[in-house]
Amino acid sequence: QVQLVESGGGSVQAGGSLRLSCAASRYTYGSSYMGWFRQAPGKEREGVAAISRGGGYTTYTDSVKGRFSISRDNAENTLYLQMNSLKPEDAAMYYCAAGTRTWVQYSLSPDAYQYWGQGTQVTVSS
């Protein structure tokens, strides 16, 4: 069964850091490009960062460039999102996702992903 389990969310002050983790089942992880998404109340789900299957290619939404870093440990089947210099506008539920479409290398579009975790909440106070 495909499973993605996020952890590492919490409450921080603006300027602080958090590191999100996403543990993936082996069946999902090895053949999947991966992404982090977030959704704030009343807003659409937004692609934050994505990484290719081997980890050699990454992409970020403009608002987090230079502050967030996505990485993956293929030996441990784990995806990470290091978030630095957090801002109140970064507050949201964060989701990891796995995609298996063969013609996609990585993507910030939710439509490219087939598997989703349950999310971890990030709160940033000013």
Q: In sequence order, which ranges of the chain are alpha helices (DSSP H)?
A: 26-29
Q: From CA 20, how far away is CA 44, in angstroms rounded? A: 20
Phi, psi of 33 (to 5 degrees): -80, 155
Q: Give residue-wise pLDDT tens across range 2-24.
A: 799 999 999 999 999 999 999 99
Q: From CA 9, how far away is CA 55, in angstroms rounded? A: 23
Q: Give residue-wise pLDDT tens across range 58-86.
A: 999 999 999 999 999 988 999 999 999 99
